[in-house]
Amino acid sequence: MTIQLTKVHGSDNDFFIFDVTQLATPLTEAQLSQVAQHLTDRETGLAGGADGVLVVDHSQHAGVAGKMRVINADGSEASMCGNGIRTVARYLSEKTDQTAFKIETMYADLAVQQAPEIATGIATYQAEISPVCFGAQELGLTLPDVTSLRHKRLPSLSKTLYFTAVAVPNPHLISFVDHETLLGPELGRIAGYLNNGTNTIFPDGVNVTFVEVLGQNHIFARTFERGVGFTNACGTGMSAASLIYVLEQGGIAEKPITVRNPGGMVQTIVHQKADGAYWMDLIGNATFVGTVELTLDQLLTAPVDQLTLQETGEQTTYRQFVAQLAEA
Residues 103, 187, 228, 241: which binds ligand LBFN2T5F (CB under 6 A)?
Answer: 228
Q: Is 72 annotated as a binding residue?
A: yes
Please give the size of the binding site for ligand LBFN2T5F, defined by CB under 6 A.
18
Of 66 and 82, which CB lies nearer to ligand LBFN2T5F in the complex structure?
82
* 164/265 Cα distance (integer angstroms): 23
What CA–CA distance (Å, rounded) separates 112 from 208? 25
Q: Catalytic residue at 234?
A: yes
Q: Which residues pair with 164 in a beta bridge?
A: 174
User: What's the CA gap between 290 and 60, in Å, rounded?
Assistant: 29
Q: What share of the chain is helix, strand, coil (3-state, %, to 5)?
A: 25, 35, 40
Q: Residue 328 in contact with residue 40, Cβ under 8 Å?
A: no
DSSP string, 188-230: HHHHHHHTSS--SSSTT--EEEEEEEEETTEEEEEEEETTTEE
> Smaller CB distance to ligand LBFN2T5F: residue 70 or 141?
70
Identify whether 133 is a catalytic site residue: no
**Residues with Cβ < 8 Å from 320, sequence gap 6 or more?**
none
Cβ nearer to ligand LBFN2T5F, comparing 188 with 250:
188
> HSE of 142 in the Cβ direction (CA atoms, 13 Å)?
12
Least distance from C-beta 268 to ligand LBFN2T5F, angstroms? 12
Residue 49 lies near ligand LBFN2T5F (rule: CB under 6 A): no
Could you give the angle at which helices 82-96 and 235-248 cross, rounded to 10 degrees?
A: 120
Which candidate in 123, 234, 247, 280 is catalytic?
234
The answer to whether 276 and 287 are in contact (CB under 8 A) is no
Of 100-108, 149-157, 193-201, 223-231, which part binds ligand LBFN2T5F (CB under 6 A)? 223-231
* 70 contacts ligand LBFN2T5F (rule: CB under 6 A): yes
235 is in an annotated binding site: yes
Q: Does 268 bind ligand LBFN2T5F (CB under 6 A)?
A: no
Q: Is 189 labelled a binding residue?
A: no
Q: How far is the CB of 282 from ligand LBFN2T5F (least distance, A)?
A: 8
Q: Is 52 annotated as a binding residue?
A: no
| Binding site listing for substrate | 13, 72, 82-83, 170, 207, 225-226, 235-236
The residues assigned a catalytic role are: 81, 234
> Residue numbers of the site for ligand LBFN2T5F (CB under 6 A)?
13, 70, 72, 78, 81-84, 170, 207, 225-228, 231, 234-236
| Binding site listing | 13, 72, 82-83, 170, 207, 225-226, 235-236
